[in-house]
Amino acid sequence: MSLAAAIRADDVDKLPSRRDEGWRWTDLRGLLRAIPPLSPEIEVAEGGPFAAIASDELAYGNGRRPNGADYSNLTMVGDGTMRLRFVSDANATSHSTFVAIEVEEGDHVTLLESYEGQGSAYVASVEIALEVERDAHLTRIILVDAPPDAILVSEARVILHPGATFHQTVLTTGGKRQRIETVVTHPGAGGSVRMDGVYLVSGRRHADITTEVTHARPDGVTDQLVKGCVSGQARAVFQGRIVVARGADKTDARMGHHGLILSERAEIDAKPELEIYADDVACAHGNTVGALDEEAIFYARSRGIPEAEARAMLTQAFVGEVVDRIEHEGARDVARVWVAKQLGGVA
Amino acid sequence: MLSIQNLHVRVGEAEIIKGLSLDVPAGEVHAIMGPNGAGKSTLSYALAGRPGYEVTEGSASLNGEDLLALDPSERAAKGVFLSFQYPLEIPGVPGLTFLRTALNAQRKARGEDEVSAPAFLKLVRAEAAALKIDFEMLKRPLNVGFSGGEKKRMEILQMAVLSPRLLILDETDSGLDIDALRIVSEGVNAMRAPDRAMLVITHYQRLLDYIKPDRVHVLADGRIVASGGPELAHELEREGYDKYQKAAA
């Protein structure tokens, strides 16, 4: 059951539905009566939100490499920073992409991944296979910008080899229905995983950040912090699962999800799960959903800060904790500006 | 300067301020003393415009301008500053950022240019030094994890930087040890000016040894029941609020 399979087979019965436990808050079957026709080929100009901080790019337009070349299997060689762009410009059509990327032993790679949507009511699926070899490091910054009526599912499967590290931060405003999913197999051996995210969802949008990290072997670290806010009639979903397999001793796993609900009709659904089969582990999780502190808002107003600005400032500070954890300076700046722009505050 | 006429304030179903009238001319410091529950904090919150503090009757104006019609941030831009009895913690927002945002928002509301970063830092450094506030502390989220005394000093720092016309000090002495009380009081006294008025709200006379009022008013059951010179504070310290509470009842 996946959107990718449904698009490829032109078969709505392959769509995940609310009957699938992992998709009950992000139902696709109930949303689509038929798979829309295939999206047209488009030209993609160089650029994107990370254009200023990295020159190499790999771009897909409506699911295809623009020049028709097939890059579905790609091995990355050498250290560096690269833009990975999924550009959609489509109206009521659908497209899917599969990308495989390998980070070679000992390399340090930063992937600046952007979803850039134009047009309306399209359905897009992106599947990514990432393999991080021994002692290599991969940072993945994901910035999602889609029209309010677009459907997007991004599913990444990440395989880490011993000693490898993988740090990811998702930044999204959602779509008509949208899911950014990451599934990681963690080999331990001193490797670390960070699975952060920020959602800022307004209007009638929907954003789902789903992650799963399986610690297969001893001595692995996972640190997760996801924060966000919903307003209007928006809905955010956070599903975080950390599995510590039998024998994966000395695993250190921390998960935090904290959401703000800024209006009466907005909703946050959260399912933090720790599944622990090993004995000697340090695992913790915290999950909170609440509102802005009205007393703090009044305090800021009493100092001369208009209410809307005070709310933006406090919301920005709330999610800023996640942004501050981005190690790549350029990406962190892009993320800060993005948050400020979404919240109407100042950077 | 500040003129309050027949003010009535409701919080929820309860009327707390019941026809309070008070004039504080420019250049003067007036103390409001009263027993717990008299309405001291309600008066300060109503003047600052806190949501939930509903003015049902009467007026309050600053230099002839109706305060009650204004949003809290507009009141601040007109020069109202409330020093909170319990200053709020602002997670994730460094003190410097908060203060600069507030100062520029006020300036913008008054049609003035934003203050430049160097000018702002120079101003804050000078005021922080006078209040013995470590400048590094201003880079931390405002009031988060600060002691009671540190929070109060941070209030006075904000007051000094924002340079308001009407200063309302709500139980500024609570939670202060004697050294902090002296530093805070010196900070407040430094702000006395011919074009400023101050309203010092306190339960105890102690603060008034440091911040000398021109007039003292006794607030009981939502009204001013007695007014006098500084000697009235000493009388209250000696004799307590009993006779005023009985008079009010």
Q: What pLDDT, in 10s, does the model give residues B106-122?
A: 999 999 999 999 999 99
Q: CB B102 to CB A294 under 8 A? A: no
- Tokens for A272, please give them: 């933090």
Mutation for testing the A interface, residue in B50, B73, B86, B99 having most A CBs under 10 Å: B73
A292 interface with B at CB cutoff 8 Å: no
Tell how strand A123-132 and strand A151-160 pair up.
parallel
Distance from the Cα of A222 to chain B's closest Cα (Å) equals: 24
Which domain range does residue A119 map to?
A: 36-293
Q: For residue A304, which of B242, B30, B161 has the smallest C-alpha distance?
A: B161
Asked, for residue A178, whether it belongs to a domain, the answer is yes
The pLDDT of residue A28 is: 95
Over 50: is that where the pLDDT of B168 sits? yes
Nearest CB neighbour to A301, from listed B72, B84, B98? B72
Distance from the Cα of B100 to chain A's closest Cα (Å) equals: 10
**Between these two residues, B111 and B231, which has the higher pLDDT value?**
B111
Sign of CA dihedral A62, A66, A69, A74: negative
**DSSP structure string for B45-85:** HHHHT-TTEEEEEEEEEETTEESTTS-HHHHHHHTEEEE-S
Average of per-residue pLDDT across B22-48: 93
Distance from the Cα of A241 to chain B's closest Cα (Å) equals: 27
Q: CB A304 to CB B109 under 8 A? A: yes
- List CB contacts (< 8 A) between B70 and chain A: none
> How large a percentage of chain B has pLDDT more than 70?
98
Query: What integer best gives the mean pLDDT of chain B?
Result: 92
- List CB contacts (< 8 A) between A347 and chain B: none
The pLDDT of residue A77 is: 57
Residue A126 phi, psi (nearest 5): -130, 125
What is the CATH T-level fold of the domain B2-248, as seen in this structure? Rossmann fold (3.40.50)
The pLDDT of residue A54 is: 87
Average of per-residue pLDDT across B81-109: 95
Sign of CA dihedral B135, B139, B145, B151: positive
- List CB contacts (< 8 A) between B139 and chain A: none
Average of per-residue pLDDT across B93-102: 96
Q: CB A300 to CB B91 under 8 A? A: no
**Which positions ≥6 away from B205 have C-beta within 8 Å?**
B33, B233, B234, B236, B237
Asked, for residue A45, whether it belongs to a domain, the answer is yes
Q: Helix, strand or coil for residue A164?
A: coil
- A103's enclosing H/E stretch is strand A94-103
Angle at A159 between CA A158 and CA A161, to 5 degrees: 145
Nearest CB neighbour to A304, from listed B51, B77, B91? B77
Distance from the Cα of B87 to chain A's closest Cα (Å) equals: 8
- List CB contacts (< 8 A) between B160 and chain A: none
The pLDDT of residue A1 is: 84
Dist. CA A229–CA A199, nearest whole Å: 6
Over 70: is that where the pLDDT of B52 sits? yes
Distance from the Cα of A328 to chain B's closest Cα (Å) equals: 20
pLDDT confidence tier of residue B247, bands split at 50, 70 and 90: low
Report ipTM (2 d.p.). 0.95
- List CB contacts (< 8 A) between B78 and chain A: none
- Tokens for B111, please give them: 């049609």
- List CB contacts (< 8 A) between B158 and chain A: 303
Q: CB B82 to CB A302 under 8 A? A: yes
- List CB contacts (< 8 A) between B98 and chain A: 300, 303, 313
Q: CB A296 to CB B90 under 8 A? A: yes
Distance from the Cα of B69 to chain A's closest Cα (Å) equals: 15
Asked, for residue A57, whether it belongs to a domain, the answer is yes
Asked, for residue A3, whether it belongs to a domain, the answer is no
- Kindly provide the b/e burial profile for residues A32-66, where b requires at least 16 CB atoms within 10 angstroms of the residue's own CB: beebbeebeebebeeebbbeebbeebbbbbbbbbe
Residue of A nearest to B82 (CA): A302
Residue of A nearest to B80 (CA): A302
Residue of B nearest to A295 (CA): B88
The pLDDT of residue A347 is: 40
Domain total of chain A? 1
Nearest CB neighbour to B93, from listed A295, A302, A317? A317
pLDDT confidence tier of residue B248, bands split at 50, 70 and 90: low
Question: What's at A174, amino acid-wise?
Answer: G
Dist. CA B212–CA B185, nearest whole Å: 10
Asked, for residue A143, whether it belongs to a domain, the answer is yes
Average of per-residue pLDDT across B196-222: 91
The pLDDT of residue B175 is: 80
Residue keyed to tokens 């009985």: B246
Low-confidence residues of chain A: pLDDT under 50: 346-347
Q: Are A134 and A160 in contact (CB under 8 A)?
A: no
